[in-house]
Structures are given as structure tokens and as C-alpha cells.
């Protein structure tokens, strides 16, 4: 993933000694964790407890900064282009994999490349769920699909942005059923959920963590899950696979650093996130927001990321180029 480089022996030794000296002093100042979405979405809800747990281990503040825009592209690109010194890290969602290829598909330069990131750790992998307002006439996924067939391109759904983490599951739904829905993109998962609650759209997708309070409060109803098995928190909700649609989609969140970050710094960050994932307060917070911890260290996360990227590429091809009219 861009961490391994070949050098002549003398230069390699000098880098090794310099890196070791650097790592002994790292971190010596606050670390910025960029979340490329507004508050209230999966990345934000996962990033905050992760940052708090890392602070205790690194003994330096880990300051979470929401840098939203373009379905996560703005924040992702900011980290890709930041100094590779370990002081700027990213809490990204699965949409990080989609954006570069989507831009190329539309004839534009990619805002970043996946090779510009070093995976540090996977934190969570939440199956996405389909939600409507409690007063909606749709009582099941079949109701939604039937209505969409009767009214092509008229049923509305909100997302975190074009090609974003909440757009791709609907792309899979359209591909699996042949229906056509009307996409209304927003700047993040929080605004997308607010659009549903406010009646601007008829449905949305999201991780259980972002929707649980509204479901418990009786404002939203969950119809189906893109997971591989039923959720413990929503045992009555079927998966799309159960309903005969062979698709799955997880909103995963993971920590990244710029690819050129020195190996000793990457190692320190990996250790910090590993220990953070084991922190009792972190576990309690994640349980409270109903987000299962799915920790994977960098090597395993790298493999997971690569496989997920290939799977998302198929859904992306089905969408084709979509121009963002808000730009």
C-alpha cells in the first residue's frame, strides 16, 4: 500500500536511523483527525470515540475536524496532500474507494489516488439499512420496489453525496431490481437523515448507529438490511439476501495516514488504534451507538480494502457518470 520502498543500503540506513529518532519524539504535538463529512454521520460517530481513546494512549490531543464536501472527496484529498509526518490522519468511509474512479469516469482528474494513503486500521463495518419515516405507506422493501416500478424515477432517496457511502447501496438496489429511483444528494449522512425526517425525501440508507435514536423514538422505520445476516439490534428486519436479492453493502470506517508517512510513525499509530479498540470506554461508546467493532490491523485491513474496492467498482460501472449539478 505504498509503505515499502527500495533504497541503496547507505541511504536506507540513514532513513532507518532518522525514522527511529523521529518516532521517539512522536507525537510531540496535537494530531488532527479529519472526518470528511459533517457531524452526525458514521465517520463522525466512530471518529470521536476513536480520537478520545487514542489521546489516552498517545498522551497528546487528537483533534477531530469535520471537513465535508463532495461526498467525502474534500477531506480525503486534504489528508492525501498533507505532510506525511503523522500529525494529520483520516477517518474515512468506504466511499474513499469510489471517488477517484468516478471522477475519471466523468472525464475529470481524480482529487486523490488510493496509493496516496497508508491504511492504519479498520474500526467498524456496519451493514447499511433502508429506512423510511414511521408514517410512510411503505411497510416493507417489497412495497418500495413495487412503488418504484409503478413510478419510475419518482421515489426519492437522500444520500451523503453522489457516489458516496449512502448512494452506493441504492445503486446496488437499482441494479438488482431494475427499478429507477430519484437521488437527492446531501453533504453527509447527518443532513441526509435530516432530509428524511423533514419530509424532503421518502427514504434513505445508513448505518444502524446513525438511525438508532430515531428508530427507537418512533420517527423512522427500517425495512431491510444490506448485511449478510440479521442485525442483533433489529432482529425483525430481513436482509435483502433473504428477500432474494444477492447484494450486500457495509459502511466501514477506517483510519488512514498519508502513504509517505515514515514506517516508525505508522507503527506508533497502528499500536495506538489497536489499543484504542480494546479500551473499555471506547467499547462501551460503540455499543451505545450500536456500531459493532470490526478491528483489523494494517495488513488485514489492506486486503479487506482492496477486495471491497473491486466489489464497489462493479456497482460504479452500473451508475456511469453522474454530474453534480450543485457544483
What is the pLDDT, as a whole number, of residue 24? 61
**Taking all residues of the chain, what is their mean pLDDT, rounded to a whole number?**
89
For residue 252, the number of C-alpha atoms closer than 13 Å in the C-beta half-sphere is 26
Give the pLDDT confidence of 23-41 residue by residue, as tens digits: 468 999 999 999 998 888 8
| pLDDT in the model for residue 320 | 86
pLDDT at 12 over 60: no
Q: Which position has the higher pLDDT, 288 or 52? A: 52
Residue 326 confidence (pLDDT) above 70:
no
> Does the pLDDT of residue 325 top 80, yes or no?
no
All domains in the chain, ordered by first residue: 9-125+251-319 (3.40.190.150), 129-225 (3.40.190.10)
Report the alpha-carbon distance of residue 202 to residue 138 in Å, rounded: 9
Q: What is the pTM of this model?
A: 0.79
The answer, yes or no, to whether residue 141 has pLDDT greater than 90, is yes
The model's pLDDT over 149-201, given as tens digits with 9 standing for 90+, comes to 999 999 999 998 888 888 999 999 998 999 999 999 988 888 999 999 999 99
Q: Which of 275, 290, 321 is nearest to 211 (CA)?
A: 290
Instruction: At 287, list the grid cell.
Output: 455499543
Query: Could you give the CA distance from residue 321 to residue 164 in angstroms, rounded to a whole number?
Result: 13
**pLDDT, tens digit, 9 for 90 and up, residues 290-319:** 788 999 999 999 999 998 898 888 888 888
Distance CA 208, CA 225 (A): 10
Alpha-carbon distance of 41 to 52, in angstroms, equals: 17
CA distance 12 to 210: 46
Of the candidates 88, 62, 84, the residue with the CA atom closest to the CA atom of residue 75 = 88
- Share of residues in the chain with pLDDT > 90 (%): 67
| C-alpha grid cell, residue 264 | 516508525
Amino acid at each position: 500500500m505504498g509503505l515499502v520502498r527500495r533504497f541503496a543500503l547507505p541511504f536506507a540506513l540513514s532513513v532507518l536511523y532518522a525514522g527511529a529518532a523521529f518516532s521517539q519524539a512522536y507525537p510531540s504535538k496535537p494530531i488532527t483527525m479529519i472526518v470528511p463529512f459533517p457531524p452526525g454521520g458514521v465517520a463522525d460517530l466512530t471518529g470521536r470515540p476513536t480520537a478520545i481513546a487514542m489521546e489516552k494512549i498517545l498522551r497528546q490531543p487528537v483533534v477531530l475536524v469535520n471537513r465535508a464536501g463532495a461526498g467525502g472527496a474534500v477531506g480525503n484529498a486534504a489528508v492525501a496532500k498533507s505532510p506525511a509526518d503523522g500529525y494529520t490522519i483520516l477517518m474515512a468511509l468506504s466511499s474513499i474507494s469510489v471517488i477517484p474512479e468516478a471522477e475519471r469516469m466523468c472525464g475529470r482528474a481524480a482529487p486523490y489516488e488510493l496509493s496516496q494513503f497508508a491504511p492504519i486500521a479498520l474500526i467498524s463495518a456496519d451493514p447499511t439499512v433502508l429506512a423510511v419515516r414511521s408514517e410512510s405507506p411503505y411497510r416493507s422493501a417489497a412495497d418500495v420496489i413495487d412503488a418504484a416500478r409503478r413510478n419510475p424515477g419518482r421515489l426519492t432517496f437522500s444520500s451523503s453525496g453522489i457516489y458516496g457511502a449512502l448512494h452506493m447501496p441504492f445503486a446496488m438496489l437499482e441494479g438488482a431490481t431494475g427499478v429507477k429511483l430519484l437521488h437527492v444528494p446531501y453533504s453527509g449522512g447527518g443532513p441526509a437523515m435530516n432530509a428524511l425526517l423533514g419530509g424532503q425525501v421518502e427514504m434513505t440508507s445508513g448505518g444502524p448507529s446513525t438511525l438508532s435514536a430515531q428508530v427507537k423514538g418512533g420517527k423512522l422505520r427500517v425495512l431491510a438490511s444490506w448485511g449478510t445476516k440479521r442485525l442483533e439490534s433489529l432482529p425483525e428486519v430481513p436482509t435483502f439476501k433473504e428477500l432474494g436479492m444477492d447484494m450486500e453493502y457495509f459502511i466501514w470506517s477506517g483510519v488512514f495516514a498519508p502513504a509517505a508517512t515514515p514506517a516508525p510513525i505508522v507503527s506508533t499509530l497502528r499500536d495506538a488504534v489497536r489499543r484504542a479498540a480494546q479500551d473499555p470506554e471506547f467499547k462501551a461508546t460503540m455499543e451505545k451507538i450500536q456500531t459493532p467493532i470490526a478491528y483489523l490491523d494494517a495488513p488485514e485491513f489492506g486486503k479487506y480494502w482492496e477486495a471491497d474496492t473491486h466489489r464497489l467498482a462493479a456497482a460504479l460501472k452500473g451508475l456511469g457518470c453522474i454530474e453534480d449539478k450543485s457544483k
